[in-house]
Structure 1
């Protein structure tokens, strides 16, 4: 039976956090991970007011081949990162443990990760890994959304569940549609692409944690 863990890791102890250095209150959001050429390729979203220093800092990192601008809208920019993760990279280890990275958001101090493991044994293997590697990981919460008394949000982050709920209530999924993507985005003061991505990831998380789960043992 699957289990979800919410963890915090210092930016300096996380390879991607070392690369994606930001200043002050700026946050970096890992939108998705695409396996290209045998390595995980991150897509990252950041506010435009931090764009110049962010690009310069990322390009200066020795493991980075290139950072490419994918799209920019209003005050947000989406990048793809071409990098060479080390063999000991946490992002390489996560798939090796059959885990799925559901969400990742970081700032100058720490990254918050949400991970889905197929079993409690897989989660234990992950914990053994970071203890053995002396990585300072704090597990904030562990829950199994398939249990009757489990967390009711099925792994959704607060922004995802708020956006999904508002979208349904406002008629975004009605036929005909009663609110546009741009109008929904304006209500959250984010770009239309950002709200579309938030909805996509929220729906994906719901499906993974409700439909794509093993049947509980009798």
Structure 2
């Protein structure tokens, strides 16, 4: 059964995290991972800095081959990074274990990832890769994907809980009958975490209902 794992790691443990030394207010969100021969090429969004500052901040990162600006939308910048073939880190461990990244958000306080393996064995393989290469991660949750009223509508338990509660409390009504802050308090999480869960849930539902395979 497909399994989702959530984990955290320190800001400097992930390659792109070195930018926080120069731009502590920046937020980085991974867009997708594309295995390319022996290189892992991550696409990521950068928020909270000017384009020139972003490019300069990434120039000195050890192991990076190239940082390229792909697009910009409303002061958010889509970047692409390539790094040296011999570099082995979290992304390399994920690619080797055939683990998909559902979300990866980095700030100066650290990184938070949500990843999916097609089985618990794949998740276990990733954990072993991290241990073997001394990559410190802190696992915060592991759970199976659950269908939502039909095949193909797969959400994580946390996404399903957040979406259902938001619906029940009238968050999607017009006008809204509650706020993100109130729902987050009820779930015992931060407003930022709730917003991220809802966004990933929207994306999953749209992908499995409106977008053809």
* Alignment partner, residue 33 of structure 1: 33
User: CA RMSD for the aligned pairs?
Assistant: 3.7
1:97 CA displacement: 1.2
**Distance verdict in 2 for CA 1:99–1:32, change over 3 Å:** same
Aligned residue pairs, count: 174
**4-13 or 42-51, larger mean C-alpha shift:** 42-51
Structure 1 gaps, min length 5: 171-197, 213-218
**Distance verdict in 2 for CA 1:33–1:156, change over 3 Å:** farther
Supply the distance in 1 between the matched residues of 2:200 and 2:28 (Cα, whole angstroms).
18
* Alignment partner, residue 182 of structure 2: none
* Alignment partner, residue 69 of structure 1: 69
Three-state SS of the structure 2 residue aligned to 1:49 is: coil
Query: TM (normalized to structure 1)?
Result: 0.64
Supply the distance in 2 between the matched residues of 1:81 and 1:66 (Cα, whole angstroms).
6
Supply the distance in 1 between the matched residues of 2:68 and 2:113 (Cα, whole angstroms).
24
Moved over 4 A (4+): 19-22, 155-158, 198-201, 204-207
Is 1:138 aligned to residue 138 of structure 2? yes
Is 1:126 aligned to residue 126 of structure 2? yes
* Alignment partner, residue 114 of structure 1: 114
1:99 CA displacement: 1.3
* Alignment partner, residue 100 of structure 1: 100
1:206 CA displacement: 6.0
1:22 touches 1:50 (CA, 8 Å); kept in 2?
Answer: no
**Distance verdict in 2 for CA 1:68–1:15, change over 3 Å:** closer
1:3 touches 1:120 (CA, 8 Å); kept in 2?
Answer: yes
**Distance verdict in 2 for CA 1:80–1:15, change over 3 Å:** closer
**Distance verdict in 2 for CA 1:49–1:57, change over 3 Å:** closer
Query: TM (normalized to structure 2)?
Result: 0.65
* Alignment partner, residue 202 of structure 1: 203
2:26 touches 2:48 (CA, 8 Å); kept in 1?
Answer: no
